Amino acid sequence: MEAVAKLRNYPTSPRRMRLLADEIRGMDVEKALALLEFHPQHSSTPLGKLLLSAISNWKQKNSGVEENDLIVKTIFVDGARTIKRLRPAPQGRAYRVRKRSNHVTIIVDKKN
């Protein structure tokens, strides 16, 4: 039985978060946690916490079952709200700055 965890409106661009999500997709949970713990990107910290949350959700759903062969079954990153700001530019103009954020969903399940 699979378990889901979601991270909503995290303030980093979806493209940066997808780079990490692609690395841990289909991986064993222990390996994914080790990879995220020592990864240099700043997005690895919330992704590691989200994976721990998905594991604890799985434990609550499946009490009394061993969690040895858990894998990251599905992980996807969607775009969220974009905050628009203006930055001064030469000759009285303004450049638009888009501060992006994302939603991450992780599904954890036992390996078949």
CATH, residue 44: 3.90.470.10
What are 56-66's pLDDT values in tens digits?
A: 999 999 987 88
- The predicted model scores a pTM of 0.90
Range of the domain at 73: 3-110
Look at the chain and report how many structural domains it folds into: 1
Q: What is the pLDDT averaged over residues 15-22?
A: 95
The burial of 47, by beta-carbon neighbours within 10 Å (0-12 exposed, 13-18 middle, 19 or more buried), is given as buried
Whether the per-residue pLDDT at 68 is higher than 90: the answer is no
Q: What is the pLDDT averaged over residues 4-8?
A: 97
| C-alpha closest to that of 72 among 84, 54, 92 | 54
